[in-house]
Amino acid sequence: MNHPLSYVEANFDGLVGPTHNYAGLSGGNLASLSNKTKAANPKLAAKEGLKKMKTLHDLGMVQGVIAPLSRPDLGQLRELGFSGTDANVLKNAAKHSPALLAACSSASSMWTANAATVSPSSDTKDGRLHFTPANLVNKFHRSIEHQQTGRILHAMFNDESHFAHHKALPMSNYFGDEGAANHTRLCQNYADHGVGFFVYGERAFDNNAPKPKLYPARQTFEASSAIARTHGLDEHKVVYAQQNPQVIDAGVFHNDVIAVGNRNVLFCHQQAFLNQDSVYQQLTDAMGETLNIIEVPTQQVAISDAISSYLFNSQLLSLPNGETALVVPRECELNPNVNNYLNHLIAESRGIDKLLCFDLKQSMQNGGGPACLRLRVVLSDQERAAMNSSVIMNDTLFETLNQWVERHYRDQVYSQDLIDPSLMTESQTALDELTQLLNLGSVYDFQQIGAVR
């Protein structure tokens, strides 16, 4: 037998945190900007996410959950010079800059595709599964995620003989890293030595290279290649591609808004990459086997339709029954061009057998679709046995987490509410309980002995 180990793809979805709100923090992400003053419903947001997790679990997928970060980030606000009681810190931060308070209160860790880049043990030199939390330097509210994210990933994958945890890359735009949103692993079977496909927005050290003009390139080539080195990937099994700068300027702020891949299928828009044909060739060469490229023509789905429907922010799943499913947000059904394209795609049997459609509007309104909400981790049987099994979805955990949300979450939060110290207390109470439910230990600062209150 070629592969003595059996591997599966597990999806770890971010549980939406209690401070979910719309603050317009992400320039270049059209949904975030246009929904800035809307009321958010954290309770509904968390339940929408849990429903997706449960459905995938019911279909036989390995589904996990990643705990939200603790927000507001009081430690960050104190480092920035706000002092006194927690209530004073919130009040003074809001007086100084409501946007700063919103940034330190964002529930943006729900988009776990940005939590880290993950390389399975079948691809790495030392045979361990590697994680690098993304530095997310391009947006302040996201740049303050990586330390807590790293701690949570440690608490989930806590065995050095199987799991290697790296620090985030240097906190500089030269090494802007957005994690798995810009990384795809292609292979025939999960146990294979797969191809790491890294998509970057710009080469930071090359002033003459093409770059977007209007919106930032959040991922650099320098960051992607550093991760390929630190994870010990074989250079013959790594392909780099530059995202088309024009589509970044149209609002495609991550590669996972224009392309998704799984196993030997790459589903992408015709305008996704610079030198697209050469990218396909390099991928096919690195795979050494057939790559099924499903390219969506601009004529059928314009870039603006791809962005508003989030067609490519879909999950491509290999179901245990052998079918390939595309998990799309409801917005795809509601967009006539996209809906029409998808109906033909399924009818033509080009490698995607069925659609699974989810209501994720609470996340979508901040620019986060089905794929943003999950971090993929390809795991061997041994690694599954070694990890913290309390974070794996099952019928009981689904019930428990729904009840937990019901007990602790508000059904309406405006960004003006972030000043309210009781929202902070509610959030900390909820997360403290969650760490017990998920067996995470004391991963949050507020749980440390001597934490300033």
Binding piece for ligand SUG, criterion CB under 6 A, among 2-10, 16-24, 352-360, 427-435 = 16-24
Ramachandran region of residue 221, left (φ > 0), alpha (ψ -120 to 50) or beta? Answer: alpha
Query: With b meaning 16 or more CB within 10 Å and e meaning fewer, what string describes 47-77?
Result: bbbbebbbebbebebbbbbbbbbbbbbbbbb
Burial of 381 (0-12, 13-18, 19+ CB in 10 A): exposed
- Using CB under 6 A as the binding rule, whether residue 106 contacts ligand SUG is answered as yes
Question: Which among 48-56, 323-331, 366-374, 395-403 is the span making contact with ligand SUG, rule CB under 6 A?
Answer: 366-374
The interface with ligand SUG within residues 179-198 (CB under 6 A) comprises 181
CB 194 within 8 A of CB 187: yes
Half-sphere exposure of 33 (CA within 13 A, CB side): 8
- The HSE-up count of residue 421 (CA atoms within 13 Å, CB side) is 9
Residues within window 261-290 making contact with ligand SUG, judged by CB under 6 A: none
Contact flag: residue 328 with ligand SUG (CB under 6 A): no
Q: Which two tokens stand for residue 414?
A: 């405006």
Q: Does 260 bind ligand SUG (CB under 6 A)?
A: no
**Is 367 among the residues that bind ligand SUG (CB under 6 A)?**
yes
Does residue 312 interact with ligand SUG by CB under 6 A? no
| Site for ligand SUG contains 113 (CB under 6 A) | yes
Q: Helix (H, G, I), strand (E, B), or coil: what is residue 345? A: helix
Question: Which member of 25, 134, 364, 375 binds ligand SUG (CB under 6 A)?
Answer: 25
Question: How many CB atoms neighbour CB 334 within 10 A?
Answer: 12
Between 25 and 241, whose beta carbon lies closer to ligand SUG?
25
| Separation between Cα atoms, residue 66 and residue 34, nearest integer Å | 27
User: Where in 129-158 is the site for ligand SUG (CB under 6 A)?
Assistant: 139, 142
Give me the 208-247 binding string for ligand SUG, x by CB under 6 A, dash otherwise.
----------------------------------------
Can you tell me the distance from the alpha carbon of 393 to that of 41, in angstroms, rounded to the nearest whole number?
23
Instruction: State yes or no: is 254 an active-site residue.
Output: yes
Using CB under 6 A as the binding rule, whether residue 177 contacts ligand SUG is answered as no
Taking the complex as a whole, how short is the minimal distance between the CB of residue 135 and ligand SUG, in angstroms? 13
Cα(361)–Cα(354) distance, integer angstroms: 21
Q: How far is the CB of 313 from ligand SUG (least distance, A)?
A: 6
Distance in Å, CB of 80 to ligand SUG, minimum: 19
Task: Quickly count: other Cβ atoms within 10 Å of residue 397's Cβ.
Answer: 22
* CA-wise closest residue to 374 among 180, 228, 168, 90: 180
The residue count for binding ligand SUG (CB under 6 A) is 22
**Could you tell me the smallest distance in angstroms from the CB atom of residue 31 to ligand SUG?**
8
Q: Give whichever of 29 and 122 is closer to ligand SUG, judged by the CB atom.
A: 29
Q: Is 108 in the site for ligand SUG (CB under 6 A)?
A: yes
List the one residue from 11, 29, 109, 242 that touches ligand SUG (CB under 6 A). 29
| Active-site residue, selected from the candidate residues 254, 269, 331, 408 | 254
Place of tokens 């920035």: 80
Cite the active site residues: 178, 254, 372
